[in-house]
Chain A
Amino acid sequence: MALITPKRERSTRQVRPQTQGLAYRTKVNFRHPATLIGILLILLFGYLIVAPVISLLMGAVQVGFGDEAKAGAGAGELTSYYLARVFSSPVSEIIFYTPLRNTLLISLCSIALALMSGVPVAWLLARTDLPARRWFSSALIVPYMLPAWTFALAWTTIFKNRSSAGQLGWLESLGWEPPNWLAYGPLPIIVIFCLHFTPFVILLVTNAMRNLPSELDEAAKMAGATAAERWRRITLPLLRPALLSAATLMFAKAVGEFGVAYVLGLPAGFQVLSTTLHQSISTQQSGVAAVIAAVMVVLGGISLLIDIRFLREAKRFMTVSGKSLAARVVPLARFKVLAFTLVAALFTISVVLPLGTLVLSTVMRVPGHFALSNFTLDYWVGHNLPTVGFNRGVLVSPETWHAAWNTLWMVGLAAICTGLLGLLVGYVVVRSPLRQLGTALRVITFMPYLVPGLAFAVAYLSLFAVPRGPIPALYGTATILILIMIADEMPFASRAGVSAMMQLGQEAEEAAQSLGARFTRRMRTVIIPMLRGSVASATLLPFVSGVQGLSLVIILATPGTQLMTTLSMTLIDFGYTHAANAVVVLICAIALFGTWATQRLFRSNLADGLGG
């Protein structure tokens, strides 16, 4: 994915003659509305993105309050104490090296598995006469719209054993206690990441395949190449940019994802970077946390560099002239039934099973006991449940409604702001006569992509917990949650905005300008209406990931600003599995409904938002 270097389809700038006066040039440049907007945006993102990231990184080399004695220096002074503690102390192995290895193991395995299952499915969806392929191409994306730890909860519901508290697992109550390696730790985490990531691969690769002219394959066929040779020498190399983009995206997600490892790793003592980060934060070791967070940023940066490197190579893939016919459909003939079965199986495993398990678990008193008398709606609508806290059904307890309302308005507002800001960034990048302004904005809005949500939240906490200048202390307010959600989604939103503005071309705006329309009117009557679909998808994506986002908000939400995700985590901590699962089911419902409604209203789709 061209996250940082969008291809410039046509340059709108001309080389200016050297003789042009500086004063004149400055005046022209600064009169362009894009310049002013650009400067305002840089100030805004400087505050929302750059400042937190810098304060985060500084935390790794500055003595924190209370660490003066250990570090042997005054608070605020530079120190290598935290670096030493993380990288070369007796506890390094536990707090850093093992989690790092685990993180790499899990992300690499799950990426490989997701590619292996996603690519064939993408091919079936993009190129063959698979029955119901239109339906599948939306249905198989569903796991992407669900929080990753939904799967973790479903997994524990089925496989959990006596290592963790709460209700019995289904298998356990059927009389077989699953061993630890099946219930917790790397195996289930890899499987779940794979299920959660496969939709990415499907989305990106299906798009890439649709844009691949069938003639490239046919030309190889005419040259006498067998099907295997054609895959190896033509199709796969051509898909490499898309595959790498998907892999980079998955890697960043896998490194930053917290919920899955929290639910499935901790009971087996299996630590990854995000969980040690969480631990050091909750034990007040903010210096160590900053170092770990910085390592996660570096990991993201490396994956990005790889992506950019290959992207440069991939550029020459894009500009091949000549028009192409619509992709031809490959008849599956006798493999039709087999292919359909496989795709249906993937759908079952990645959507039906986890969601079904969760839904079922909320209507059964004793887990895994499938008798009619065992079913109940008490956990949804009942009163006086036999629990200490949260003793009403999910749908009738005020906590749920409070959290649901918080989620809807906070995430909704954040998503709308993100979408509009993304569009403005696109406008500045594409139209500003000051090229540097656009570049700076692209780089800044991209930074959150590299910072894991938890670490970003830590930075927000340290920066905005106390009043600074004119800004009051934000901890415990909805504002801090909304701001961080906006900042976190900017990489995708600005990318979507840039590509939307590029597609628009500037004639439409120039036509309005030549007829005397000023900037605000041009925006209102020409640009935004024309980009309605893109704005919708640029809003949809932040909404969907905001509704299910956990790591970003888990340390920032307070009882007053409880969101659905943090509520369900709280319930898990208390061992109220029924209620936690029911809340997760509600989250899924909101995410799915939001996606469906946006697609219906604006005919946009997720793949556009991803910019695949």
Chain B
Amino acid sequence: MAQITLSALSKTYPGSRTPSVQGLDLEIEPGEFLCLLGPSGCGKSTTLRMIAGLENPSSGRIVIGDRVVDDVSSGRCIPAEQRGLGLVFQNYALWPHLSVRENVCFAPRVQKLPKAERELRVQQALDTLAIAELADRYPSALSGGQQQRVAIARTLAARPEVLLLDEPLSNLDARLRLEMRAEFQRLHRQTGNTMLFVTHDQFEAMTLATRIVVMNRGQIQQVGTPMEIYNAPANRFVAEFMGNPPINIFERGQNAQADAWLEHIDPHVATLGIRPEDLQLTSEVHRPGSGQLTLDLRVSALLPTGGSWIVELNDGARRYFATTQRCPQVVQGQLVPVLVAPQAVHLFTGSGVRYERMEVAA
């Protein structure tokens, strides 16, 4: 089982002024299911490709297990084909001229394994992904989900200790995604592999990862378990990136009621953020308790999503979203008092960093 260590890893593409990845430090523990999450262009795929050896860092060091695979300062670089990692590509990259079996058998053949061993591996990989009956088909005769399974089987047949997955679900439809997510979780339990997963889909990251690394503009914003990331975002970027509908942001000077509430708080706090599910729509007038935040917002739209409702609200200048599990007893155009528990309010300083309050409820 291999640990992966990235130290001061940077990558600037030739012809580009801004680095794609900047001073990345990260330890990936053996057996962990780590997710690199961020908007497109944040450097997550570049990071993955540098670990894979398909991209060379501009500076920094990558260690896999006890092997230094990249060290720019000493000029050491082990090519991708000798790193023994498995990579599943976003577009699967199945070889169209080879059948499913030949695709899966490629790595065992390259490793020059004896025939019996090769066949065993292929069969196991096909069985693991439940695609044995597709063995003699060609990739063009497969559906997207089947191609995905073949791509994973092909990678598994090489028996890598680390499995790298580059947005493997983004080309699938919603239903298949759900299925494959469960599949990945099962695979992780079954093989015990270290898995490193790149995605821009927070839902995917939340449901799959044991730890999430949120990246933006080539830098790590926060590392933590999914719940840590969601409940205690380290900065405004993470807060706004995680969650759908997005977190509601109130800048100082934007909403009188929010401003009044903020008077009790450290003047360094410039922004507060409230998750949609923490906005409680009430029908009767509440007397605000001490420290309780009440916002009077007008309902501008009701959006049922099946199991829950999204309520679009506004204060005349901006839109906010609330979500509820029960049918909201409001009508469009109604002015509604909205309650927020003080501990549900996220505070950020002027530079966007999370502000930890000591005793807000006092």
A→B interface (CB under 8 Å): 213, 215-216, 218-226, 229, 233-234, 237-238, 240, 315-324
Contact = CB atoms under 8 A, between A and B. Distances in A.
Contacts of A237: 97
B93 A213 contact: yes
Contact of B93 (A219, A226, A233, A318): A219
B93 A224 contact: no
B154 interface: yes
A316 B158 contact: no
B138 A226 contact: no
A323 B52 CA distance: 20
A317 B80 contact: no
A302 to B, nearest CB: 24
A218 B140 contact: no
A461 to B, nearest CB: 47
Nearest to A239: B97
Contact of B106 (A220, A320, A322, A323): A220
A215 B89 contact: yes
A319 B140 contact: yes
B139 interface: yes
B325 interface: no
Contact of A218 (B93, B94, B171): B93
B54 interface: yes
Given A233-B106, A322-B90, A221 B97 contact: no
A321 B86 CA distance: 21
B54 A221 contact: yes
A206 B28 CA distance: 41
B141 interface: yes
A323 B171 contact: yes
Given A238-B97, A316-B140, A317-B97, A222 B92 contact: no
Contacts of A240: 97
Interface in B338-354: none
A218 B106 contact: no
A233 B96 CA distance: 12
A218 B80 contact: yes
A437 to B, nearest CB: 30
A21 to B, nearest CB: 38
Contact of B110 (A229, A238, A315, A317): A229
Given A215-B89, A222-B87, 9 more contacts: A216-B95, A221-B54, A222-B54, A223-B154, A224-B111, A237-B97, A238-B95, A238-B97, A323-B91
B329 interface: no
B interface, how many residues as a size bin?
A: 20 to 34
B107 A223 contact: yes
Interface string B128-148: 000000000011110010010
A222 B52 contact: yes
A229 B82 CA distance: 14
A215 B95 CA distance: 10
Contacts of A225: 81, 106, 110
A240 B97 CA distance: 10
B220 interface: no
A96 to B, nearest CB: 40
B84 interface: yes
B139 A224 contact: no
Which of B86, B90, B110 has the most C-beta atoms of chain A within 10 angstroms of its own C-beta? B110
Contacts of A233: 106
B85 interface: yes
28 contacts: A213-B91, A215-B91, A215-B93, A216-B93, A218-B80, A219-B87, A219-B95, A220-B110, A221-B53, A222-B86, A222-B155, A222-B158, A223-B154, A224-B81, A224-B82, A224-B84, A224-B110, A226-B81, A234-B95, A237-B97, A238-B97, A315-B140, A316-B96, A316-B97, A318-B96, A319-B140, A321-B144, A322-B91
Chain A to chain B: the 6 pairs with minimum beta-carbon distance, closest first: A322-B91, A215-B93, A223-B107, A219-B93, A316-B140, A319-B140
A219 B97 contact: no
A213 B171 CA distance: 16
B140 A223 contact: no
A323 B171 CA distance: 8
Nearest to A316: B140
Nearest to A317: B96
Contacts of B96: 238, 316-318, 320
Given A215-B93, A319-B140, A322-B147, A223 B54 contact: no
Contacts of B106: 220, 223, 225, 233
B144 A222 contact: no
Nearest to A212: B96
Given A316-B96, A322-B91, A324-B91, A222 B85 contact: yes
B35 to A, nearest CB: 20
B80 A222 contact: yes
A222 B162 CA distance: 12
A489 B91 CA distance: 39
Contacts of B139: 316, 320
Contacts of B95: 216, 219-220, 234, 238
Contact of B171 (A216, A226, A238, A322): A322
Given A221-B81, A223-B107, A225-B110, A316 B91 contact: no
Interface string B207-221: 000000000000000
Contacts of A319: 140
Contacts of A215: 89, 91, 93
Contacts of A216: 93, 95
B89 A218 contact: yes
Interface in B80-126: 80-82, 84-87, 89-97, 106-107, 110-111
A394 to B, nearest CB: 48
B79 to A, nearest CB: 8
B87 A316 contact: no
Nearest to A323: B91
A318 B82 CA distance: 30
Contact of B158 (A218, A223, A318, A321): A223
A469 B269 CA distance: 97
Given A213-B93, A221-B80, A224-B81, A320 B107 contact: no
A311 to B, nearest CB: 13
A548 B90 CA distance: 48
A227 B53 CA distance: 14
Most buried by A among B82, B87, B91, B155: B91
Nearest to B89: A215
Contacts of B110: 220, 223-225, 229
A323 B144 CA distance: 12
Contacts of B89: 215, 218-219
